[in-house]
Chain A
Amino acid sequence: MSVKHALLALLEQEPMYGYQLRVAFEERTAGTWPLNIGQVYTTLSRLERDGLVTAGETDSDGHQLYRLTAAGRAEVTAWFGSAVPRTQPARDELAIKLALGVSARDLDLADIIQRQRSATMKALQDYNRLKRKATDLGHELVLDSLIFAAEAEIRWLDHCEAQLRRTADRAVR
């Protein structure tokens, strides 16, 4: 996840200091991806080194405000304008579990699939409850992203189960 671009996009709206950036980021993304403050400061110093932000004046409370440079503004525009690359998927424990389960003996894979489906559905129900309470479009879209991802997992589990049954049926014939 590009913390760099998220910070730049926030700074495009107004100059902010580090802690303020962290709060704004978490607030806008419904607290879904917590940022630690150390990460914010190291990112800011890298952005400053690269000429994308300047550390300027301090506000009345002595916080150092960061603002976007012209190069930083161009970077934000380019980020919004380009597709996010599909990264190499992280090691997926569930996929690995099923792949290994297929060849394990004495294992009821259908049962494992159902247990997972039930757990993922519970998460989906939680996201749905949060979404029903959401009053901010940005929050809703973040929750929708989690919702669609959980749904994709359940659909994939359905698919695995159907494949499993088909294979079993073939073996019987």
Chain B
Amino acid sequence: MNTPVLHLEGVSRIHGSGELAVHALREVSFEAYAGELVAVMGPSGSGKSTLLTLAGGLDEPTSGRVVVEGTDLTAAGAGGRARLRRTAIGYVFQDFNLIPALTAAENVSLPLELDGAPSRAARAAAATALDELGIGDLADRFPDEMSGGQQQRVAIARAIVGQRRLILADEPTGALDSVTGEDILRLLRARCDAGAAGVLVTHEPRHAAWADRVVYLRDGVVLDDEDAGETVGARR
């Protein structure tokens, strides 16, 4: 538990400039360690998705460093980031984002194949991931032949396939009913218990409660939780 799988160091992200500059994140420091699930909560526009896209190497900070498994994402360059996304980082979105023309198994094996894994090995890894999520029997279905909950399981299989150690989930239960949403959290939780680091963005307190830690964002700033609960008076 010594070095974090994900480490944001003083990260800021400013969109636009001058009068119109939007400070989506301001000097945010954040860690996620192997074996833990961290929930990120905050009102809409507080910077949750920005934090996740930076952690996932889908966007670059204006200042500060994002380090995943010891690799500085900025220094890694576009190619290095793309490679990490195919091998170390799994991303789960609210709207599943499966490729409609591919079967469940093909959706899951795609990142490995893109990374140059032999087709056979990629297929085998996909089958393992689908089995692990209890949907091995759906391998040959297309996304439009599955329920929302099933599609989200496929998306999670894609996010964990090939021993990925960092799983980033942005409102993964948003489109699901409460019992199906809970199944998805159980799976994320199990994955973190098995050694991955997970970051879960959610606006449902009930779902955040699956996490080991909850981080609150306000206007691009992490609320300091350390003194919450300690200080007796709240007088200014």
Q: Are A and B co-members of a single complex?
A: yes
Instruction: Choose from B43, B189, B235 the contact partner of A106 (Cβ within 8 Å).
Output: B235
A132 to B208, CA, bound (A): 14
Return chain A residues, CB-CB under 8 Å to B236.
Answer: 106-108
Whether, in the assembled complex, B229 has its beta carbon less than 8 Å from a beta carbon of chain A, the answer is yes
Task: List CB contacts (< 8 Å) of B184-229 with chain A.
Answer: 186, 189, 204-206, 208-211, 214, 216, 223, 225, 228-229
> How near does chain B come to A50, taking the closest CB pair, in angstroms?
40
Inter-chain contact A124/B206, CB cutoff 8 Å: yes
Inter-chain contact A118/B209, CB cutoff 8 Å: no
Whether, in the assembled complex, A70 has its beta carbon less than 8 Å from a beta carbon of chain B, the answer is no
A114 to B43, CA, bound (A): 13
Inter-chain contact A115/B209, CB cutoff 8 Å: no
Whether, in the assembled complex, B20 has its beta carbon less than 8 Å from a beta carbon of chain A, the answer is no
Inter-chain contact B209/A108, CB cutoff 8 Å: no
Return chain B residues, CB-CB under 8 Å to A106.
Answer: 235-236
Return chain B residues, CB-CB under 8 Å to A118.
Answer: 214, 216, 225, 228-229
A119 to B236, CA, bound (A): 21
Inter-chain contact B204/A151, CB cutoff 8 Å: yes
Chain A residues in the interface with B (C-beta under 8 A)? 106-108, 111-112, 114-115, 117-121, 124-125, 127-128, 132, 147-148, 150-151, 154-155, 158, 161-162
When A119-B229, A121-B214, A158-B43 are in contact, do A127 and B234 touch as well, CB less than 8 Å? no
Closest to A153 in B: B205
Known contacts A106-B235, A121-B214, A162-B43; 4 additional CB pairs below 8 A are: A124-B205, A124-B208, A124-B209, A155-B205
A106 to B235, CA, bound (A): 6
10 A-B pairs closest in CB distance: A124-B209, A154-B205, A128-B209, A118-B228, A111-B234, A151-B205, A151-B206, A115-B228, A125-B209, A112-B234
Return chain B residues, CB-CB under 8 Å to A155.
Answer: 205
Return chain B residues, CB-CB under 8 Å to A128.
Answer: 209-210
A9 to B122, CA, bound (A): 56
Inter-chain contact B216/A114, CB cutoff 8 Å: yes
Interface size class of B (residues with CB under 8 A): 20 to 34
> How near does chain A come to B41, taking the closest CB pair, in angstroms?
8
Inter-chain contact A114/B209, CB cutoff 8 Å: no
- Binding site secondary structure of chain B: loop
- The A-B contact count (CB < 8 A) is 55
A125 to B210, CA, bound (A): 6
A154 to B214, CA, bound (A): 13
Inter-chain contact B209/A147, CB cutoff 8 Å: yes
Inter-chain contact A117/B209, CB cutoff 8 Å: no
Return chain B residues, CB-CB under 8 Å to A150.
Answer: 205
Inter-chain contact B211/A115, CB cutoff 8 Å: no
When A114-B223, A114-B228, A115-B229 are in contact, do A121 and B235 touch as well, CB less than 8 Å? no
> How near does chain B come to A33, taking the closest CB pair, in angstroms?
21
Return chain A residues, CB-CB under 8 Å to B209.
Answer: 121, 124-125, 127-128, 147
**24 residue pairs bridging A and B, Cβ less than 8 Å apart:** A107-B234, A108-B236, A111-B228, A111-B234, A112-B234, A114-B228, A115-B234, A117-B216, A118-B214, A118-B216, A118-B229, A119-B229, A120-B205, A121-B208, A121-B214, A124-B205, A124-B206, A124-B209, A125-B209, A125-B211, A128-B209, A148-B206, A161-B43, A162-B43
Return chain A residues, CB-CB under 8 Å to B43.
Answer: 158, 161-162
Return chain B residues, CB-CB under 8 Å to A162.
Answer: 43
Inter-chain contact B205/A121, CB cutoff 8 Å: yes
Return chain A residues, CB-CB under 8 Å to B208.
Answer: 121, 124
Instruction: Choose from A108, A117, A120, A161 the contact partner of B234 (Cβ within 8 Å).
Output: A108
> How near does chain A come to B176, taking the closest CB pair, in angstroms?
16
Return chain A residues, CB-CB under 8 Å to B189.
Answer: 132
